[in-house]
Amino acid sequence: MRVLTGIQPSGDLHIGNYFGSIKQMVDAQKENDTFAFIANYHAMSSGNGGAELAKLTMQTATDFLSLGIEPQKSTFWVQSDVKEVLELYWLLSAFTPMGLLERAHSYKDKVAKGIHANHALFSYPVLMAADILLYSPDIIPVGKDQIQHVEIARDIAIKFNNKYGDILKIPAFKIEEHVATVPGTDGQKMSKSYKNTVNIFGEEKKQLKTIKKIVTQNVPMEEPKEYENCNVYNMAKLFLNEDECKELQERYRRGGEGHGHFKLYLHDIIWEYFRPYREKREYYQAHQDEVRDILEYGATKAKNIALPMIEKIRSITGIRY
Ligand code: ADP
Ligand code: TRP
C-alpha cells in the first residue's frame, strides 16, 4: 500500500507531532511504500520565508531522519525539489470550486487568529491535493485537523476524473484513534500555536521545566488521585505499555505520592524514549551533507513517479500539444 504525508518545516517538533504523525509514518515503513516530504512551499503561506525557511527545512529533514525515516525504505524529499507539483496545482485549480476552499476550517481559523489572508493561504488545499494526487497514494495518515484537506483532495480528484476518466487515484485518510489528539501542558490540544508543547529535541533542564508546568489537580500528597483526566497520566500513557500503564494507575490510586513525583517520572520516560533519536540527530547535525544527499536521492525517486504522471495529465488535459 502506498502511504503519503507532508510535513511543514515550521519549527521544533513536539510529542503531539510525534504520536499524531511521525510515529505513524515510521511504523508504516515496515509494510508499505512510504512517501514523506517536507512541505516548504506550504510553509510560505503563513508568512515563513528567507533564510529561516531554508534553515527550518534542513532542521526538519534532520529531525525526521533522526526519528526513524529510512531513506532506503521510504521516499523522502523536499516538496520544491519536484516542481511538477506546481504545474498540477494549477491544473487542479480549474477543478476547484471557490466554495470548497471558502469552507476550509483551517483557512477560516488562521484568518480568525489574525494571519493575513493571502492567496497562498486560501489555495493551500489545492497544493495539498496536488501533493497527494501526483503520487497516487492509497492512504494519507493525518491528525484530525487535516481530514478536511484530504476530503478536498478527494473532491477535486473526482471532479477531474469526471471530465477525463479514471486518471487520479482517490485517496483515503487514516487517524490512529487512541492518539488522535495529544494533550498539551494545559490540557488543550498540544500545538505550537498554544505554546503548550513538550518538544522532542531540547535541553533536559528545559524539558523538566516544561513538564513541571503541566496543569494538575490540587490533591494532598497522601490521598488517592484520579488518573483518567490527569494531563500527566495522559501524556505518560503514550510512552507506556499496558503493564506499565496499570502500574502507574496503581500509584495514582494508592496515594502517598504527589503530582510532582508523577511529573518527574514522566520527564524520565520521555527523556529515555528519545535518547537514541537524540544520538542519531547529533550525528546528522554533524553530517548535513549526508542529509542533503539523502534528500537529493529522495527527490530522484519521487520524480520517477511524478514525471510519468504529469506527462499523462499534460496529454489528457491538452497542455501537451
Ligand atoms: P502544530 O499544531 O504544533 O502547529 P502542525 O499543525 O504542524 O502542529 O502538525 C503537524 C502534524 O502533527 C499534523 O499531522 C498534525 O495533525 C499532527 N499533530 C499536531 N499536533 C497534534 C496533537 N496534539 N495530537 C495529535 N497530532 C498532532
Ligand atoms: N497540510 C499538512 C500539515 O499542515 C502538510 C501537508 C502538505 C500534507 N501537503 C500534504 C499532509 C499532503 C499530507 C499530504 O500538516
Which ligand 1 atom lies nearest to the CA of residue 20?
A: 26
Mean pLDDT, rounded, for 298-319: 98
Res. 180: pLDDT tops 70 = no
Q: 247 is written with which cell numbers?
A: 502500574
Mean pLDDT, rounded, for 135-159: 92
Give the per-residue pLDDT at 143: 73
Query: Measuring from atom 15 of ligand 2, which residue has the nearest CA?
Result: 7
Cell 504529469 sits on residue: 310
Q: Which of 153, 190, 168 is nearest to 19 (CA)?
A: 190
CA of 45 to the centre of ligand 2 (A): 12
Please give the radius of gyration of the chain, using alpha carbons only, rounded to the nearest integer.
Answer: 21
Is the Cβ atom of 150 under 6 angstroms away from ligand 1? no
CA of 104 to the centre of ligand 2 (A): 14
Pick the CATH number of 202-273 from 1.10.240.10, 3.50.50.60, 3.30.70.100, 1.10.10.10: 1.10.240.10
Query: Measuring from atom 10 of ligand 1, which residue has the nearest CA?
Result: 17
Mean pLDDT, rounded, for 162-167: 98
Q: Which ligand is nearest to the CA of 38?
A: 2
Give the per-residue pLDDT at 303: 98
Which ligand 2 atom lies nearest to the CA of residue 131?
A: 12
Mean pLDDT, rounded, for 151-176: 94
What order of strands is seen across the sheet that includes strand 139-141?
Answer: 74-78, 33-38, 2-7, 139-141, 172-174
Superfamily of domain 2-181+288-317: HUPs (3.40.50.620)
Give the per-residue pLDDT at 113: 85
Tens of pLDDT along 56-104?
A: 999 999 999 999 999 999 999 999 999 999 999 999 999 999 999 999 9
13 backbone dihedrals φ, ψ, rounded to 5°: -80, 145
- What average pLDDT does the chain have? 94
CA of 58 to the centre of ligand 2 (A): 17
**pTM for the full predicted model:** 0.92
Residue-by-residue DSSP string for 142-179 = --GGGHHHHHHHHHHHHHHHHHH-S-SPPPEEE--GGG
Confidence tier at 254 by pLDDT (50, 70, 90): very high
Give the per-residue pLDDT at 144: 77
Res. 291: pLDDT tops 70 = yes
Inter-helix orientation angle 119-133/105-112, to 10°: 150
Res. 179: pLDDT tops 80 = no
Could you tell me which residues are beta bridge partners of residue 77?
A: 37
Mean pLDDT, rounded, for 110-120: 87
CA distance 7 to 10: 9
Mean pLDDT, rounded, for 141-153: 88
Asked if 38 and 79 count as a contact pair (C-beta separation under 8 A), the reply is yes
Would you kindly state where each structural domain of the chain is located, as residue ranges?
2-181+288-317, 202-273
Confidence tier at 250 by pLDDT (50, 70, 90): very high
Q: Which has the higher per-residue pLDDT, 179 or 292?
A: 292
Res. 171: pLDDT tops 80 = yes
- Mutate which of 191, 197, 199 for ligand 1? The one with the most ligand atoms within 8 Å of its CB, which is 191
